[in-house]
Every structure is written in C-alpha cells, then in structure tokens.
C-alpha cells in the first residue's frame, strides 16, 4: 500500500509538471488570461486555467496507484476501494468542469451556485447511499460542499497559496485514511496532493499561470469529497475538517465583517487576511507558507487530540490557532480596514 501511495504521488506530480508548461501557451492563445484590476494582487496579465493540469495529474495517478495495489493486495481488496475512488474522481471532474465553464464564459452567480449545489447534492446522495445514512443528509452535504468550493476559490488569490495548501491537505487526508481506514480515500488524496506539488513551481514564487476556477473548484471538490467520506465512516470531526478550517475561517470572518459594515458582500474585494498581508508588503510565498502552516498546525492538533482521546482540547487549541491567524494583520501593523467602514444600522 505504501508503494502504491508513493508511486501515485510521483505519477501525479510528474504528469502535472509536464502538462502545465504545455498548457500555458494554449491558454494564452485561447485568451484565458487574468487581467489585473483594482482588487488583484498581481500586476501582469497571467494565464488562468492551469488547474486543468492538476486535474490531469490527479486522474493519471488515480489509475497508477490502484494498479500497483492490485498486484500487491489482489482484486478482492481493491474492489472495496473502487467505488470510493470513482466517487472522488467524478466529484473532482464535475467541479472542475463547472470551474472551467466559469473560466471560459464567466457564468452568472446564480448559475454557478446552482451547478455547485447540484454536484454537491450528487456527492451527498452517493455518500449517504454508500454509508447507509439518511438520504436527507445529502442536502446539508450539498450546501457544505458548495461552501468549501467557494472558500477554496476565494482563497486562491496569492501565488502558491491554494496549491501549497493542497499539498498539505491531501497528505493529511492520506494519513487519516491510514489511521481510520476509509477505503479508497488515500488513493484519491495522494493523487490530488501530488498533482498540486507538480503544479506548484509554475505558480510560486512567481506565477507563470494561475489555477483558475477550474483548479480551485476541483480542489474544493476534493476537500468536500474527503470530508464527507471521513464523516460518513466515523472519523472524528476534528480530523475530517482540520486543514480546511483556515480556508473557512478566513472566508467566514471576512464575509461576516463585510456584512456587519454594510458592504455589498458579493462584490470583489481585497479584505481577506491573506490579501491584507500581501497588500501590507508580505511576499506571496510568505503568505502561502502561513496558510499551509496554519493548516498543518490545525491538522497536528487534531492528530494529538486523537492520540490522547481529548477532542475538546484539540478543538480549543485549533480555535486559538485560527483566532491568531485572523488577527495577525492587526498584530503586524497592517491595520483594520473594517474600522473605517460604515457599520450596519
């Protein structure tokens, strides 16, 4: 099994690393290019849609790793993992397609959200059917999946941030699948982690290409799938969501503050914690390391909570880490942009 995971990671990284430079001129010719605007953190037009290389790398690895495992553990044991692998693959591809449509045609907010909810609902139906759970659970799964996908997309604004976070998060879910056996989850997550690692050098420290919505939606779909499968198979909640909490906390806090200060919350902005730090002068790579490090620390605390059977302590420490992350711009002197905005009356 370990050999299958290692080969899966290497296959995904190699496929993404080879596909990305080949994809960049194609994106330029198709004019799928991100043009800097007032809310942008970059200054030069840059191709977006590089996430297609990440998806390709993950798909390649999802084929390689099970084949190796087949030779080591046999068809009987592999068949129990196949349905989970296929569910992960379909979820990632479906969200990637929605993101690609957004990259190419700039969908309306309503259309985009409806598509996200539809894919999330299918994920929920499939997961509840496999776990034998109440099918109505598919509804909150759909809502949460759309939320995670959008949080991942909103956080994809600094070089290396989303892909660096993806490497850490994918490896965490591989570890979870080994500690609390979730058949097939490790194959999917090692593929996502490896593909993100292969893409990362083209996105940081200087971005030659962006993930685009196709990439960020695919990663968000992978995290929604992983968390759903973990929770459906009895993995403690802290372990099932630990590395995702930094994305949710940054997005949720920023949304809450924008609503409280009377802003149009659905309009583009530069008020996320990571955006405020980059605007203050932090290099993109430092902010990307901050987010990946916060995800890793939350995961380590969840791991410690499992080891000593103290979930309440783990949650308390994770909350303290996230609070520190959210208030970091104030601590380093970046200022509080919400203080000068009009509060809601």
End-to-end CA distance of the chain: 58
Residue 106 has which token pair? 């700039």
C-beta of residue 284 within 8 angstroms of C-beta of residue 160: yes
Return the pLDDT at 243: 98
CA 213, distance to chain mean position in Å, is 12
Q: How many CA atoms lie within 13 A of 315 on its CB side?
A: 9
Residue 301 has which token pair? 């605390």
**CA 190/CA 206 separation, integer angstroms:** 25
114-158 pLDDT, tens digit per residue, is 999 999 999 999 999 988 888 999 999 999 999 999 999 999 999
Mean pLDDT of 29-43: 85
Of the candidates 232, 98, 90, the residue with the CA atom closest to the CA atom of residue 152: 98
**CA 334/CA 51 separation, integer angstroms:** 31
pLDDT at 113 over 90: yes
Burial class of 238 by CB neighbour count within 10 A (0 to 12, 13 to 18, 19+):
buried
pLDDT at 75 over 60: no
**CA 165/CA 42 separation, integer angstroms:** 19
291-321 pLDDT, tens digit per residue, is 999 999 999 999 999 888 888 999 999 999 9
Higher pLDDT among residues 80 and 161, named by residue: 161
Return the pLDDT at 36: 85
Query: Other C-beta atoms within 10 Å of 233: how many?
Result: 18
Residue 223 has which token pair? 């995290």
77-98 per-residue burial string, b: 16 or more CB within 10 A, e: under 16: ebeebeebbebbbbbbbbbbbb
């Amino acid at each position: 099994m370990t050999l299958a995971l290692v080969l899966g990671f290497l296959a995904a990284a190699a496929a993404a690393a080879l596909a990305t430079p080949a994809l960049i001129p194609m994106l330029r010719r198709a004019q799928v290019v991100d043009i800097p605007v007032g809310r942008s953190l970059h200054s030069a037009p840059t191709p977006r849609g590089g996430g297609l290389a990440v998806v390709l790398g993950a798909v390649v690895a999802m084929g390689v790793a099970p084949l190796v495992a087949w030779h080591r553990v046999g068809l009987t044991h592999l068949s129990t993992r196949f349905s989970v692998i296929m569910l992960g693959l379909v979820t990632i591809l479906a969200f990637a397609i929605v993101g690609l449509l957004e990259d190419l045609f700039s969908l309306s907010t309503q259309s985009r959200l409806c598509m996200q909810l539809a894919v999330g609902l299918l994920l929920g139906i499939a997961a509840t059917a496999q776990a034998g759970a109440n099918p109505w659970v598919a509804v909150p799964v759909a809502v949460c999946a759309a939320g995670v996908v959008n949080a991942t997309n909103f956080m994809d604004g600094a070089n290396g941030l989303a892909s660096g976070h993806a490497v850490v998060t994918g490896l965490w879910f591989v570890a979870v699948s080994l500690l609390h056996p979730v058949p097939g989850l490790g194959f999917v997550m090692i593929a996502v982690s490896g593909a993100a690692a292969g893409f990362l050098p083209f996105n940081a420290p200087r971005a030659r290409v962006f993930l685009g919505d196709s990439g960020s939606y695919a990663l968000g779909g992978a995290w929604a799938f992983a968390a759903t499968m973990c929770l459906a198979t009895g993995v403690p909640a802290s372990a099932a969501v630990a590395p995702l909490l930094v994305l949710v906390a940054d997005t949720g806090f920023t949304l809450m503050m924008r609503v409280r200060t009377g802003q149009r919350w659905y309009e583009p902005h530069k008020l996320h914690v990571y955006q405020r730090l980059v605007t203050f002068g932090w290099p993109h790579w430092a902010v990307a390391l901050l987010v990946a490090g916060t995800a890793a620390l939350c995961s380590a605390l969840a791991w410690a909570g499992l080891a000593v059977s103290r979930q309440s302590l783990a949650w308390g420490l994770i909350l303290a880490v996230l609070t520190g992350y959210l208030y970091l711009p104030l601590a380093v002197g970046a200022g509080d942009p919400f203080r000068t905005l009009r509060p809601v009356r």
